[in-house]
Amino acid sequence: MPKRETPLNAAQDKKRHVDSGAVVSVLRRIIAENGRDHIRGYAFAILCLVLVALSTAFTAWIMESVVNEAFANKRADIVWLICASILAAFILRGFATYGQAVTLSKIGNNIVARYQRRLYSHLMTLSVGFFSESRSAYLAAQVSQNVSGIRDVLNLTVTSTARDLLTLAALVGVMFVKDWVLALIVFAVAPPLLYALRYVSKRLRAATRESVEINSRVLGAMQETIQGISIVKAFTMEQELERKVNGIIDTAERRANRIARLSERTSPLTETFAGFAISSVLAYAAFRSIYNDVPPGAFFAFVTALLMAYDPARRLAKLQVQIDRAVVNAQMIYAILDTQPAQREKPGAQDLATTTARVELQGVVFSYATGSPILRGVDIVAEGGKTTALVGQSGAGKSTIINLIPRFYDPTEGRILIDGQDIAEVTKASLRRQLAYVSQQPYLFEGSIRDNIRYGRPDATDAEVEEAARLAYAHDFILTQPFGYDTPVGEHGMTLSGGQRQRLSIARALVRNAPILLLDEATSALDNESEAAVQKALDTAMRGRTVIVIAHRLSTIVKADKIIVMHEGRVVEEGTHQVLAQRQDGLYARLNNLQSPEAGH
């Protein structure tokens, strides 16, 4: 069943567990999604693994001829043939091992790349609410740490079945052919060993799950620290965060040690089993050779098969632990992939067609998943080609309105119309193509300055990019950069000042050339001089567009065609600056007087 869109966190992950049913279910899903595309590669890898198993079994089987013909019968003519066959078996095994290793690696790398692309594509379909409620560092750690689990499930299944299990079966067959009594002696002690291994594996499941979760927390904590390093140092948080991270790392270390203790318990168990089996076989064979004069060739072949069977048996003994870990990782990836977008396109949704780009909110109510309503029956009209400003105290709901228009969230009640079309009835892609957006916090992506501006419209020419930069008053400072427009901006644009980043984000909005422009305090990060310059650029850019702007500095929206004053999620006043500033008992007049007593004159 697809999951409803909910934040990803450790508490939810702990509710899931790994059992045999989960292993089978995950394995079936992975095979269904990947098996057909890689069937030829897996077939070739399985063929190579079969050759490895058979050549290994042949090496043990021929030991009887080596001992009897070379040392007992002294047949020199047969020895050369035996040696040549052994050499051929080893060469065949070497090439087969190489072939399966390279093939499985290529398939595994392709699967990892495929799921990375699929995860990224799926994450882009999830709403802003999913990311705002999920810890980004934990989400990134989960994706980076667990995406290989799907590859490991397949590779472990193929190698264990085609190589280890088949090799073990072939060697057991050699053992029974050479001496069935000795084989029965060996397998008489196998059931207790299998029971003990199953008990250890069962205890490992919970420890494996906890280890994966805690390691994700370690990576997440480190990533958050790196991203917020300036805050960490500004508030001297180093020691406090170090204690916190050290605590998580200590817990991870204890879990890893517990897993090591549990998983390595298979070693004394299997070694004890091997020692008991080999000593029993040696005793039986020695007495039979001494008292019954039985040739030693069959015994040596049997012992060779028994010793060669040890490695695949040991790997199979640890298989459950490895499968459990891989399935845990795969489940976490599928938990993300199975999360369904909260804002699905309605069947038959059409593209948005704009003429005047008139925006209207009708009885809009909105609240987040938990908490009281942010908007309470809001009715707003932003006329096409004009500027509408939203003002009010913090928490009044201004930014929420800006977030609802691009459908970052959907209203709890009410409708939002653009040129009479309900935005819930049109495709999100066509809606957002009609919008240009500048947020409070300017965000730049990895790449050059030119790349970051061009994200507004990928098909924009260099001339259009530079013109947008001029309009945003960014062109001059860009030319002072080491490589001009081709200068890398650094992570999150940290090589640039806040005002420079904001002007680049405004240029990105301008190059989009969309009919609707959303400005969420677009000049908040600028100094007075830069604000004045950018305000002139925005005044030019606003002409002929529908502009909805939020501004704490009322001086920046004095020329707005309409000012809407909000308070506690409701519209309380509406009008132009001149009209609202003269209402001495109004909220706008009070805010205007607080900011500048002379602003209204």
Q: For position 426, what pLDDT does the model report?
A: 93
Give the side-chain half-sphere CA count within 13 A for 330.
26
**Contacts of residue 451, Cβ cutoff 8 Å, sequence gap at least 6:** 445
State how far the Cα of 343 lies from the Cα of 557, in Å rounded to an integer. Answer: 33
Q: Tokens in use for 199?
A: 């008990």
Question: Using N-to-C axis directions, what is the helix angle for 180-188 and 166-178, rounded to 10°?
Answer: 130
DSSP secondary structure of 79-129: HHHHHHHHHHHHHHHHHHHHHHHHHHHHHHHHHHHHHHHHHHHHHHHS-HH
What are the Cα distances from residue 504, in Å, to 229, 451, 467, 515, 532?
Answer: 23, 11, 12, 19, 16
Examine the pLDDT at 9 and tell me if it is beyond 60: no
DSSP secondary structure of 482-507: TTGGG-B--GGGTTS-HHHHHHHHHH
Q: For position 450, what pLDDT does the model report?
A: 95
State how far the Cα of 245 lies from the Cα of 575, in Å rounded to an integer. Answer: 53
Examine the pLDDT at 393 and tell me if it is beyond 50: yes
What are the Cα distances from residue 462, in Å, to 450, 504, 510, 567?
Answer: 8, 15, 14, 44
When mean pLDDT is compared across 32-46, 182-196, 228-242, the lowest value belongs to 182-196
Examine the pLDDT at 411 and tell me if it is beyond 50: yes
Considering only the C-alpha atoms of the chain, give the largest distance between any 2 of them, rounded to a whole number of Å.
122
Mean of all residue pLDDT scores within the chain? 81
Q: Where are the alpha helices (DSSP H) in 338-448?
A: 398-404, 428-433
Q: For position 12, what pLDDT does the model report?
A: 45
State how far the Cα of 513 lies from the Cα of 495, in Å rounded to an integer. Answer: 27
Q: Mind listing the pLDDT tens digit for each residue in 535-556?
A: 776 777 777 889 999 987 787 7
Sequence letter at residue 35: G
Examine the pLDDT at 11 and tell me if it is beyond 50: no
At 418, is the secondary structure helix, strand, or coil? Answer: strand
DSSP secondary structure of 509-546: HHHH--SEEEEESTTTTS-HHHHHHHHHHHHHHHTTSE
Q: Which of 145, 158, 117, 105 is nearest to 331 (CA)?
A: 145
Q: For position 384, what pLDDT does the model report?
A: 92
Percent of the residues in the chain that have a pLDDT greater than 70, as a whole number: 83
Is pLDDT larger for residue 149 or for residue 565?
Answer: 565
Examine the pLDDT at 469 and tell me if it is beyond 70: yes
Q: Mind listing the pLDDT tens digit for each residue in 289-316?
A: 677 766 677 777 877 887 788 778 777 7
Q: Tokens in use for 378?
A: 């809001």
Examine the pLDDT at 59 and tell me if it is beyond 50: yes
When mean pLDDT is compared across 130-139, 234-243, 303-312, the lowest value belongs to 130-139
Q: Tokens in use for 61?
A: 């089987």
pLDDT classification of 205: cutoffs 50, 70, 90: low
Q: For position 479, what pLDDT does the model report?
A: 94
State how far the Cα of 402 lies from the Cα of 73, in Å rounded to an integer. Answer: 94
pLDDT classification of 15: cutoffs 50, 70, 90: very low
Q: Where are the alpha helices (DSSP H) in 264-296?
A: 266-292
570-574 contacts: CB < 8 A, separation 24 or more?
570/375, 570/376, 570/377, 570/378, 571/378, 571/379, 571/380
Examine the pLDDT at 235 and tell me if it is beyond 50: yes
Q: Which of 533, 545, 452 is nearest to 493 (CA)?
A: 452
What backbone phi and psi angles, to 5 degrees, belong to 418? -125, 115
| Helix (H) or strand (E) segment spanning residue 549 | strand 546-550
Q: Mind listing the pLDDT tens digit for each residue in 137-177?
A: 667 767 776 777 788 888 888 888 778 888 888 888 888 88
pLDDT classification of 19: cutoffs 50, 70, 90: low
Q: For position 10, what pLDDT does the model report?
A: 42
Q: Mind listing the pLDDT tens digit for each residue in 520-532?
A: 887 765 667 767 7
Q: Mind listing the pLDDT tens digit for each residue in 261-276?
A: 776 666 676 667 667 7
366-370 contacts: CB < 8 A, separation 24 or more?
366/397, 366/400, 366/404, 366/409, 366/411, 366/412, 367/412, 368/129, 369/129, 369/133
Domain ranges for the chain: 10-337
Q: For position 130, what pLDDT does the model report?
A: 80
State how far the Cα of 131 lies from the Cα of 6, in Å rounded to an integer. Answer: 9
Q: Does CATH place domain 10-337 in 3.60.40.10?
A: no
Mean pLDDT over 191-195 rounds to 66
State how far the Cα of 535 lies from the Cα of 529, in Å rounded to an integer. Answer: 10
State how far the Cα of 418 lies from the Cα of 303, in Å rounded to an integer. Answer: 82
Q: Tokens in use for 41?
A: 């590669």
Q: For position 525, what pLDDT does the model report?
A: 59
Q: Tokens in use for 187?
A: 């397998």
Dihedral angle sign, alpha carbons of residues 195, 197, 200, 204: negative
pLDDT classification of 96: cutoffs 50, 70, 90: very high
492-496 contacts: CB < 8 A, separation 24 or more?
492/227, 492/443, 492/444, 493/442, 493/443, 493/444, 493/452, 496/444
Mean pLDDT over 345-366 rounds to 91
State how far the Cα of 295 lies from the Cα of 273, in Å rounded to an integer. Answer: 27
**Contact predicate 347/521, CB 8 Å:** no
What backbone phi and psi angles, to 5 degrees, belong to 363? 55, 40
Q: Mind listing the pLDDT tens digit for each residue in 476-512?
A: 999 999 999 999 987 667 778 877 888 898 899 889 8
Q: For position 601, what pLDDT does the model report?
A: 40
Examine the pLDDT at 562 and tell me if it is beyond 90: yes
pLDDT classification of 599: cutoffs 50, 70, 90: very low
Percent of the residues in the chain that have a pLDDT greater than 90, as a whole number: 23
| Helix (H) or strand (E) segment spanning residue 138 | helix 136-146
